Structure formats: C-alpha cells, structure tokens
Amino acid sequence: MTLFLGEAILLRMNRKLFELVKTTTVTASMEGVQKSNTYAYWNGDGWADVPYRLRDQAEAMFQAQQGRETEQEALRDEELMSRWFRESFNHLSQHIHQTAKDEGWWDKERSDGEIIALIHSELSETLEALRNGNPPDDKISQFSGAEAELADVIIRIMDMCSARRWDIAGAILAKIKYNKTREHKHGGKKF
C-alpha cells in the first residue's frame, strides 16, 4: 500500500513568490514501512525538482513552517480549552445552584459571610479527614474523605458564584495566565 502526503508553503525570494511542495511517499509492505520525501517548486513555466544539494534547506523551511503552525495550533487549542472550561464551569455552577435552591438552601437570601463560613467548614472537614488517615468517605466511598470534602468546597464556591452571578471561571483563567508571569515563589515568599 502506498500513501502520498503533500504539503506546500509559499516563499518570497528576490521579490518573487514561489510555491515549494513537499511530497511524502509512505509505502507499507510485509518488510515494513518506508518513507521518502521529494521536493518541487513552481519555476513560472512548470514544476521542477529541488536540486539534491538544496533539499536540506527545503526541509528546514518546512520544519520552520511546521513550528509556526504548531504554535498557532497551541494558541487555538488553549483558546478552545479556555472557552470550553468557562462554558462548562458556568453551566455546572448553574446546575449546582439550582439543586441548592430545590433543596431549600436558598429559600431566603444568604449572606456572603454565612456562605464563606460554610466553605471554611468544608476545608476544616478536609483537614480532619487527613488527620484521621484520609479513609474512604462515608457517603461516596469510592473517594477519600479529603477528596469528598474538597469537592464540597468547590460545590459551595460554585453555588455562591452562580447566585451572585460572578464569573469565577473567567477569574480562574485570568489568574492562571497572570501567575505564569510572576516571579519564582511570587518574589521570595516562604509559603
């Protein structure tokens, strides 16, 4: 079986635009897989093979182009991942808040202090689980006590942010981006 893969890049040299084409031939047989590259360019009158002595330079041009495309793909992937995270997080926060309302936790308006105290209590329960050896949780035994209590922390935060219409997902993404720019240990903090 033989497969032909083609790539093309445009080059500007001496005020002329050239198209450089790389064709990769992949042949699979009982002996294994063989791969070879050929390079051609449009010389104005037709296609011409790239001279053998210039093939390393041609391959370097394709590698450089691939590197730029990889960077652009990484940026697109990061943007898509950020958008997916934000939409999913906000949707889940709304679901969590609706469940809390349905269970009666929002029959009357709750103060920020009350909610923060409840978040803190879940953190304290996480510490207790760790102090006791972090056994399986008594309600969701496939998870440790610390995992279950930290889940409660996040659930309470998501509930609060949905009720207050705060964009915590956007803030998380912004903080991740900002933290990449900070000094090592944020300028020498001990912990």
- What pLDDT, in 10s, does the model give residues 72-98? 666 666 777 787 788 889 999 999 999
Helix, strand, coil shares, percent, the chain, to 5: 55, 20, 20
Asked if residue 64 belongs to a domain, the reply is no
Look at residues 133, 162, 134, 163 and name the one whose alpha carbon lies nearest to residue 150.
Answer: 134
Given this model, what pLDDT does residue 61 score? 73
Contact indicator for 25, 2 with CB cutoff of 8 Å: yes
Asked if residue 25 belongs to a domain, the reply is yes
Total domains present in the chain: 2
Confidence class for position 1, pLDDT limits 50, 70, 90:
low
Q: Are residues 98 and 154 in the same domain?
A: yes
Q: What is the mean pLDDT of residues 137-149?
A: 97
Read off the pLDDT of residues 12-26 as tens digits, 9 standing for 90 and up: 555 555 667 777 777
SS3 call for 2? strand
Q: Are residues 25 and 93 in the same domain?
A: no
Q: What is the mean pLDDT of residues 132-142?
A: 97
Q: Are residues 41 and 79 in the same domain?
A: no
32-42 β-sheet, strand order: 2-13, 16-29, 32-42, 47-49
What is the C-alpha separation between 135 and 128, in angstroms, rounded?
Answer: 11
Asked if residue 58 belongs to a domain, the reply is no
Judged against a pLDDT cut of 60, whether residue 177 lies above it is answered with yes
Q: What is the mean pLDDT of residues 180-187?
A: 85
Contact indicator for 160, 115 with CB cutoff of 8 Å: yes
Q: Are residues 39 and 124 in the same domain?
A: no
Range of the domain at 13: 2-50
What is the C-alpha separation between 137 and 60, in angstroms, rounded?
Answer: 56
